[in-house]
Amino acid sequence: MEERKDENVSIAPSGVSRRGFLGTVATGLTAGPLLAGDASVHAAAPECESGESQTLEITLHVNGGKHSLHVEPRWTLLYALHDVLGLTATKPGCERGECGACTVLIDGVTRYACMTLAVEAVGAQITTLEGLMQGENIGPVQRAFIEEDALQCGFCTSGQVMAVEGLLRGNPEPSLDQIRAGVSGNLCRCGSYAHIFKAAQRASKLKIKGAI
């Protein structure tokens, strides 16, 4: 199908004008930094389209404890953990299953909390970064990340740590390629991947040594 053109606007076969497309992109570029930097975006739960709050009472098992919550069916596990329970190590990043900053363990398996509804996690054992602490001491994966300098800005680090923790629970002695695959769902804008891989290898040794 040929484009229909007039003096100012070209209409593509999809029906979207170049002017409209450029306007949409400009709006997204303007709003992006605001959404990324404004903590208030995550301070309130999403409202139902009807304007009515329809909540359910659920119990979440998080880091060995039980938490009774009133949640809306649409609430994500990320919102319930970060904003309701105050477990802020589970970070809101892209909130569409791409960056991995919100990675948690559900029954020992890594999951994106932003792509999991709170009601889906009922009955499961949820582990956040806070749950890797051993009393007042950090766990072996956290320790390895510090010793191998596997962080810069630190925003992705909690998700990276959880990805490595989940990997090592299923495979205590992964190869370098398996480590790369294991953290492939977690993005680091600082580019600290080489150090993250070393931290995973060191964490494997620390865990094995601690288990002996």
**Can you tell me the distance from the alpha carbon of 117 to that of 159, in angstroms, rounded to the nearest whole number?**
18
**Can you tell me the distance from the alpha carbon of 72 to that of 9, in angstroms, rounded to the nearest whole number?**
44
Mark which of 109, 129, 149 sits at the end of a domain. Answer: 129
Query: pLDDT digit string (tens) for 89-137?
Result: 999 999 999 999 999 999 999 999 999 999 999 999 999 999 999 888 9
The overall pTM is greater than 0.85 = no
Per-residue confidence band for 147, with pLDDT thresholds at 50, 70 and 90: very high
- The answer, yes or no, to whether residue 159 has pLDDT greater than 70, is yes
**Could you give the number of structural domains in the chain?**
2
Do residues 138 and 81 share a domain? no
φ/ψ (deg, to 5) at 207 = -65, -45
Any domain includes 165:
yes
- The CATH number assigned to the domain holding 202 equals 1.10.150.120
Report the chain's mean pLDDT, rounded to a whole number.
83
- The answer, yes or no, to whether residue 64 has pLDDT greater than 90, is yes
Q: Can you give the pLDDT at residue 25?
A: 38
Any domain includes 92:
yes
